[in-house]
Structure 1
Amino acid sequence: MQLAGAAAPLKVDITEKTFRSATGVTIVALRGLSFEVRRGEFACLLGPSGCGKTTTLRILMGLDRQFLGSYQLPEGGSNRVAAVFQEPVLLPWRTVEQNVRLALPRNLRDKDLNSLFGILGLSAMRSLYPSELSLGLARRAALARAFATEPAVLFLDEPFASLDERTADRLRRLLMTVWAARPTTALMVTHNLREALLLADRIILLSPRPAQVLGIFDVPLERRLRDAPALDNLVSAFHKRFPDAV
């Protein structure tokens, strides 16, 4: 069940989510999963592979309605939900700009996107097709498509997975640049602790399956100060508090 509130945060209270395996075994993916993301906050769901992070996002995006419990999405601005997945999912027969504009309501498809393309380094790529892009550029286009809608909430499912570290780090910093320019409530799934510490205001640490919240880690440092030595210190602080975490 989805609830809504005009000034409410993203609020999750999933009592249980199960699914049946190919062999007919019932698997409990989530149980007693409860957390909030404050309005305008960038939060990361951190946990081991297979713990139920992506399942949680699928429920919040309305892609999986077979669960017990409730959630509440933040409202404000466009009231739209946007998502960035592990794969860019661009239409191959459309240009970069066309892919981005198709995500907009018809009455907004002529809006000025120059600033957004500029921030993401896509100004010279607008007329290219997905087959002409590197994976890193395709993921920039996916970010542009998500932010163009000015969503009330943005979900990101490991959007930098499978990239080399240099490219991934460049995209993480681009994400923060465009998010700072167009702030929105954001929830990102990752199993990469340093990535979460670089990006998030708060980290929601999940247990192995069935997922529940083990604890919350507030990142106390401004993003502009999160260089490599500072991240090393944050990693140490995180492990001191959660010694058995990922």
Structure 2
Amino acid sequence: MQPAGVAPLKVDIVKKTFRSAEGVTIDVLRGLSFEVRQGEFACLLGPSGCGKTTTLRILLGLDREFSGSYQLPEGSPKRIAAVFQEPVLLPWRTVEQNVRIALPPRFKGKDLDSLFEILGLTPVRSLYPSELSLGLARRAALARAFATEPSVLFLDEPFASLDERTAGRLRRLLMTVWAARPTTVLMVTHNLREALLLADRIIVLTPRPARVLGTFDLRLSREFRDTRTLDDLALEFHKRFPDTE
């Protein structure tokens, strides 16, 4: 249940189109409408190319060429954080400097020890991005996002291109830091098992032009979502959404 007086993330995109190099208009989003409750971890799941990343770009204010509207939690665009498929770290700054550069003035002297400890970054605080593995660079990007204490966090397939062992470790770290610093999360993924492991609710999209096909609620505590349980959840999901990938 939504806490009284707290605004959710609300999305109502009537239409979003692109024009191809050949001059052809392509419908990407049409009638895309959903909400993410305060403190909820929601996953936006859909086939590749359906418009998931485009949706995030709109919500981040990076794409204003669309019809419709959206409302951010607490109406505070200054408290938005995002983690993309690439870590996007400044190569001439250390890990700690990359994290601190995103902090607002009132947080400049913030103690980051516990955050670095949770993410296993304490030994590499003084290293530069070129000295990090991709997995460590992804951890630094997560630290930068959570350090700002955002009211909403957008994740665009942050574990893409990682081997499954590394991705699994980072998913667990994400859950640990999110549990310690709960915030509203909307994560884009096309990986069903990842969504089943992380989410409170999965918002399922159709192929392009994307709209909401339905939602899948996950009420089971994450600590009980082991391999067998994920298999059962996946079967249940495919019974409800048989045409999804």
Distance 2:76 2:219 in 1: 28
**Contact kept in structure 2, 1:76 and 1:152, CA below 8 Å:** no
Task: Say if 1:78 and 1:65 are closer, same or farther in 2 by CA, change over 3 A.
Answer: closer
Which residue of 2 is the match for residue 14 of structure 1? 13
C-alpha distance after superposition, 1:50-84 (max 9, x if no partner): 00000000000000001000000001899500000
Q: Which residue of 2 aligns with 1:165?
A: 164
SS at match of 1:216: strand
- Residues paired across the two proteins, number: 241
Q: State the alpha-carbon separation in 2 of the partners of residues 237 and 178 from structure 1.
A: 29
Greater Cα offset, 188-197 or 220-229: 220-229
**Contact 1:77–1:150 (CA under 8 A) maintained in structure 2:** no
Structure 1: which 5+ runs fail to align?
Answer: 1-5
Cα distance per residue 1:149-196 (max 9 Å; x no partner): 000000000000000000000001100000000000000000000000
- Counterpart residue number, 2:106: 107
Select between 108-117 and 75-84 the one with higher mean Cα deviation.
Answer: 75-84
What residue number does 2:230 align with?
231
TM, length-normalised to structure 1: 0.96
Residue segments in structure 2 that go unaligned for 5+ positions in a row? none
* Residues 85-126 of structure 1 deviation map (CA, whole Å, 9 limit, x = unaligned): 000000000000000000001231110000000000001110
1:78 and 1:151 in contact (8 A); partners too: no
* Alignment pair present for 1:193 and 2:225: no
- Could you say if the C-alpha distance between residues 67 and 113 of structure 1 is closer, same or farther in structure 2, counting changes exceeding 3 Å? same
Alignment of 1:1-246 (within 5 A): 7-75=6-74, 80-246=79-245
1:203, CA displacement in angstroms?
0.1
Instruction: State TM-score, norm by structure 2.
Output: 0.96
Instruction: Note closer, same or farther for the CA distance 1:77–1:126 as it changes in structure 2 (3 Å cut).
Output: farther
% identical aligned pairs: 80
Matches of 1:213 and 1:37 in 2, distance apart? 13
SS in 2 for 1:75: helix
Runs of 4+ in 1 over 6 A off after TM superposition: none
For 1:24 and 1:209, the matched residues in 2 are separated by 18
Distance 1:53 1:37 in 2: 15
Q: Distance in 2 between matches of 1:11 and 1:44?
A: 14
Tell me by how many angstroms 1:132 deviates. Answer: 0.3
**C-alpha displacement of 1:19:** 1.0
Contact 1:78 1:149 (C-alpha < 8 Å) held by counterparts? no
Q: 1:114 to 1:77 in 2, by over 3 A?
A: farther
1:136 Cα shift? 0.3
User: Secondary structure of 2:96's match?
Assistant: helix
Per mean C-alpha deviation after superposition, the further-off stretch among 68-77 and 128-137 is 68-77
Give the 3-state SS of the residue equivalent to 1:65 in structure 2.
Answer: coil
Give deviations 1:20-43, integer Å, cap 9, x for gaps.
Answer: 111111101000000000010000
- Cα separation, 1, equivalents of 2:175 and 2:182: 9
